[in-house]
């Protein structure tokens, strides 16, 4: 009688970084995956005579195995605007280039096509979970299902007509319908609500949408305290800084994620800590738009949960979280003039387990442990720029890039192997976005 496979995927060999609470490292591990979950994690060689039948066996010799990376903030369809409006101040970039282009060119097909390209880029560079906020977010959700990627899909809201919401007065109904549509649709998808900023969303909008998020038990996100101009505008309008304004409105809690949080003071850090509010740190976008340096080391000392995000490709211009890790670590060292600040292990945690916790998924992903969802990646260390290896965490943060990822597994399914997407035609995906870009370029 033929032996029935015990596992869907068996990974053997290499070096495992679990990113668990104890930060265990295992040489030559055996990892068994079945029905989307990690079932087995064992140290060392198989015991003599022990056999693990599997449908597919991955030889990880010479590779580092680690949890899939978690991108806590992006606008995926904006890959269609990669390089479209570079080297501009944020407000000019946003109001003179991005908003007009979005009003003119954004539609369901553009969002779907752009999202598929963004997801292809992320899968190929080791990201297995994303948090997105944009228009026509149902198209992003469908793209994630089609690409086999895990995502928090956040319907965006702003207090003026948008391509998908010409009547902002209907925000509540739209929010409720979006959540109901995606809440239990797929194990890969979690719906959320994204209020653009406290200066583009009125206090009533912020409050009512948070009420919907609480009632439906979903994440609530917003760009907050990104620029000094924003601080000035909110103070003139409400007599408070953005964080204090949101605290007064009662929208800060453990299911709220604020993005950027560049201009926050000591008291505001305590507000974030005491309310359990999470932070998405986007260092490359912040640097490129010259908005400032978020006080992330101080946040971490306060016990605030901070994850990494890339932001959209119009302001970054890539979705490679390996590059983002290295940038984060080095940016804060030079800002503090202290080479010990934000070390490599901390940066990797921000891109994995801490990012998972920011998105409320820490019990499901972000570390490699039995019972968790099987979201993990293999990084090929047999490269000139990764030789020799003294400290693997340092190499991953300071030397590796997304191009070194050779396999990606999401929810127990192998979606990329040997640098090739297994369930999507990359050439077709890229050509669809090139067609969109030609229309945009012609104006």
Asked whether residue 307 is assigned to any structural domain, the reply reads yes
pLDDT score at 90: 81
pLDDT score at 329: 98
| Listed residues 358, 383, 409: the one ending a domain | 358
Same domain, 240 and 174: yes
Asked whether residue 318 is assigned to any structural domain, the reply reads yes
Given the DSSP bridges, would you call strands 189-195 and 150-157 parallel, antiparallel or unpaired?
parallel
Same domain, 25 and 111: no
Same domain, 13 and 158: no
pLDDT score at 5: 64
User: How many alpha carbons lie under 13 Å from residue 158 in its C-beta half-sphere?
Assistant: 17
Residue 17 domain boundaries: 7-67+372-421
Same domain, 45 and 104: no
pLDDT score at 185: 95
Same domain, 333 and 185: yes
DSSP H or E segment with residue 278? strand 278-281
**Exposed (0-12), middle (13-18) or buried (19+): which is 398, by Cβ within 10 Å?**
middle
Digits of tens for pLDDT over the chain (443 positions)? Answer: 345 568 999 999 999 999 999 999 999 999 999 999 999 999 866 554 467 889 999 999 999 999 999 999 999 999 999 999 899 888 888 889 888 888 899 999 999 999 999 999 999 999 999 999 999 999 999 999 999 999 999 999 999 888 888 888 889 999 999 999 999 999 999 999 999 999 999 999 999 999 999 999 999 999 999 999 999 999 999 999 999 999 999 999 999 999 999 999 999 999 999 999 999 999 999 999 999 999 999 999 999 999 999 999 999 999 999 999 999 999 999 999 999 999 999 999 999 999 999 999 999 999 999 999 999 999 999 999 999 999 999 999 999 999 999 999 999 999 999 999 999 999 999 999 999 999 999 87
Asked whether residue 122 is assigned to any structural domain, the reply reads yes
CA distance 153 to 236: 33
| Contact call for residues 303 and 272 (beta carbons, < 8 A) | no
| Contact call for residues 158 and 196 (beta carbons, < 8 A) | yes
Backbone angles phi, psi at 383, to 5 degrees: -130, 150
Same domain, 35 and 167: no
Same domain, 31 and 167: no
Same domain, 119 and 60: no
Cβ neighbour number for residue 422 with a 10 Å cutoff? 14
- What residue spans of 314-425 are helical by DSSP H? 321-336, 344-351, 353-358, 392-398
Same domain, 292 and 167: yes
Chain mean position to CA 306: 12
CA distance 227 to 246: 16
Beta bridge partners of 132: 74, 153
Of 38, 36, 12, 37, whose CA–CA distance to 26 is shortest?
12
Can you tell me which residue has the tokens 């030397």?
399
**Exposed (0-12), middle (13-18) or buried (19+): which is 417, by Cβ within 10 Å?**
middle
Asked whether residue 364 is assigned to any structural domain, the reply reads no
| Listed residues 311, 326, 358: the one ending a domain | 358
Can you tell me which residue has the tokens 């979201």?
375
CA distance 269 to 214: 23
Q: What is the CATH number of the domain that holds 11?
A: 2.30.40.10
pLDDT score at 48: 46
Asked whether residue 114 is assigned to any structural domain, the reply reads yes
Coil/strand/helix, residue 282 = coil
Looking at the structure of the chain, the number of domains it has is 2
Asked whether residue 230 is assigned to any structural domain, the reply reads yes
Please tell me the total number of residues recorded for the chain in this structure. Answer: 443
Same domain, 286 and 316: yes
Asked whether residue 281 is assigned to any structural domain, the reply reads yes
Can you tell me which residue has the tokens 């090929």?
380
Coil/strand/helix, residue 262 = coil
Same domain, 349 and 386: no
Same domain, 162 and 236: yes
Asked whether residue 430 is assigned to any structural domain, the reply reads no
Of 102, 71, 72, whose CA–CA distance to 84 is shortest?
102
């Amino acid at each position: 009688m033929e032996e029935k496979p015990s596992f869907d995927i068996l990974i053997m060999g290499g070096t495992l970084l679990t990113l668990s609470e104890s930060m265990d490292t295992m040489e030559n591990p055996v990892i068994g995956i079945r029905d989307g979950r990690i079932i087995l994690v064992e140290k060392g060689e198989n015991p003599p005579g022990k056999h693990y039948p599997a449908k597919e066996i991955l030889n990880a010799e010479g590779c580092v195995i680690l949890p899939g990376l978690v991108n806590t903030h992006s606008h995926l369809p904006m890959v269609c605007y990669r390089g479209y409006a570079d080297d501009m101040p944020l407000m000019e970039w946003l109001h003179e280039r991005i908003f007009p282009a979005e009003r003119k060119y954004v539609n369901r097909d553009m969002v779907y096509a752009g999202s598929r390209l963004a997801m292809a880029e992320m899968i190929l560079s080791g990201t297995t979970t994303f948090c997105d906020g944009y228009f026509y977010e149902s198209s992003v959700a469908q793209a994630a299902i089609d690409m086999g990627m895990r995502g928090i899909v956040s319907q965006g809201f702003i207090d003026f007509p948008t391509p998908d919401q010409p009547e902002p007065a209907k925000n509540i109904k739209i929010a409720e319908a979006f959540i109901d549509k995606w809440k239990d649709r797929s194990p890969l998808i979690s719906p959320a609500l994204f209020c653009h900023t406290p200066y583009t969303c009125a206090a009533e909008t912020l409050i009512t949408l948070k009420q919907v998020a609480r009632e439906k038990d979903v994440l609530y996100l917003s760009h907050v305290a990104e620029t000094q101009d924003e601080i000035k505008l909110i103070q003139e309008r409400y007599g408070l800084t953005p964080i204090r304004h949101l605290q007064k409105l009662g929208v800060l809690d453990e299911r709220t994620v604020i993005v950027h949080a560049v201009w926050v003071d000591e008291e505001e850090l305590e507000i974030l800590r005491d309310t359990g509010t999470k932070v998405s740190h986007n260092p490359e976008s912040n640097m490129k738009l010259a908005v400032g340096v978020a006080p992330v080391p101080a946040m971490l000392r306060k016990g605030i949960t901070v994850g990494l995000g890339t932001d959209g490709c119009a302001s970054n211009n890539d979705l490679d979280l390996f590059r983002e890790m290295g940038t984060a670590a080095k940016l804060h060292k030079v800002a503090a003039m202290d080479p010990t600040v934000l070390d490599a292990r901390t940066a990797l945690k921000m891109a994995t387990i801490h990012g998972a916790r920011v998105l409320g998924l820490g019990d499901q992903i972000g570390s490699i442990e039995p019972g968790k969802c099987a979201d993990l990646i293999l990084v090929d260390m047999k490269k000139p720029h990764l030789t020799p290896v003294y400290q693997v965490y340092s190499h991953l943060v300071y030397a590796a890039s997304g191009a070194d990822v050779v396999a990606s597994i999401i929810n127990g399914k192998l979606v990329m192997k040997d640098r090739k997407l297994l369930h999507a035609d990359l050439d077709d995906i890229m050509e669809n976005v090139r067609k969109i870009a030609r229309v945009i370029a012609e104006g």
